[in-house]
Amino acid sequence: MNRLRSWRGVGSALVLAGALLALPSPARADGFLSPQVGVNFGGDAAKESVGYGGALGFMGSNAGFEIDFNYTPEFFGDDSQDVDGKLMTLMGNVIIGGRRGGFSPYFAFGAGLMRASLEAVNANAVIDVNNNSWGGNVGGGFFAGGGGVAIRGDVRYYRSFNFDEGFDLDLDIVDDTLGFWRGTVGVAFMW
């Protein structure tokens, strides 16, 4: 009788262990670091300009989050104006869509800081203006590849929520908001 009880205990333990192994595993997040290069175009981007930056974040099975940084040294101006203008964006973004193997598309949106710096010569005067503004972005992209390294492509629209009216300076650079598109490509290191 005691042997029967001990086998029942072992059998119950095996059934319990099998049931635990059969349960779906909990969702896990994949961290990523993605250095990238991008082109700003359209909207208030007077010309196509190249920016550099990166993103640090994580992707779960259905969603994720990232901190995205980009610096564009020649965002404002064109060849007909003596303008030196820089733009920096630092955004926190929600990512909808998860890592699901070889090709993983996603939708992203978020908000953060847009810092513009402008130095211009206008009517024989040097104008030096800096502006910090809150802004947002929306767009999408993909991760392609498996394992620890993937290619990342992305296109987003960026827009400031407000912009210093004094920043226009009769140069017709921006109005009360700043809006433009940015396409980026980079390598994502996953862990």
The pLDDT tens digits of the residues spanning 20-55 come to: 445 454 445 589 999 999 999 988 776 789 999 999
In this structure, is residue 124 part of a structural domain?
yes
Residues sharing a CB contact under 8 Å with residue 89, sequence separation 6 or more, in sequence order: 53, 68, 69, 70, 112, 113, 114, 115, 135, 137, 158
pLDDT at 12 over 70: no
| pLDDT on residue 115 | 92
pLDDT at 118 over 60: yes
| pLDDT on residue 27 | 47
Residues sharing a CB contact under 8 Å with residue 54, sequence separation 6 or more, in sequence order: 33, 34, 35, 36, 68, 69, 186
In this structure, is residue 6 part of a structural domain?
no
Q: How confident is the model at residue 56 (pLDDT cuts 50, 70, 90)?
A: very high
Domain extent, residue 185, equals 30-190
Structure tokens at 101: 């193997």
In this structure, is residue 72 part of a structural domain?
yes
One-letter amino acid for residue 27 of the chain: A
Nearest Cα to 158, choosing from 90, 97, 100, 94? 90
The pLDDT tens digits of the residues spanning 175-188 come to: 567 899 999 999 99
In this structure, is residue 35 part of a structural domain?
yes
* φ and ψ at residue 20, rounded to 5 degrees: -65, -40
Average pLDDT over residues 88-97: 96
In this structure, is residue 2 part of a structural domain?
no
In this structure, is residue 24 part of a structural domain?
no
Nearest Cα to 88, choosing from 59, 125, 43, 53? 53
Query: pLDDT: is 116 or 125 the higher one?
Result: 116
| pLDDT on residue 91 | 98
One-letter amino acid for residue 66 of the chain: E
Burial track 41-57 (b if 16+ CB lie within 10 A, e otherwise): eeebbbeebebebbbeb
pLDDT at 172 over 90: no
In this structure, is residue 15 part of a structural domain?
no
Q: What percent of the chain has pLDDT over 70?
A: 70
Domain total in the chain: 1
pLDDT at 145 over 90: no
In this structure, is residue 5 part of a structural domain?
no
Q: Has this prediction a pTM greater than 0.95?
A: no
pLDDT at 161 over 80: yes
The domain that contains 68 carries what CATH number? 2.40.160.20
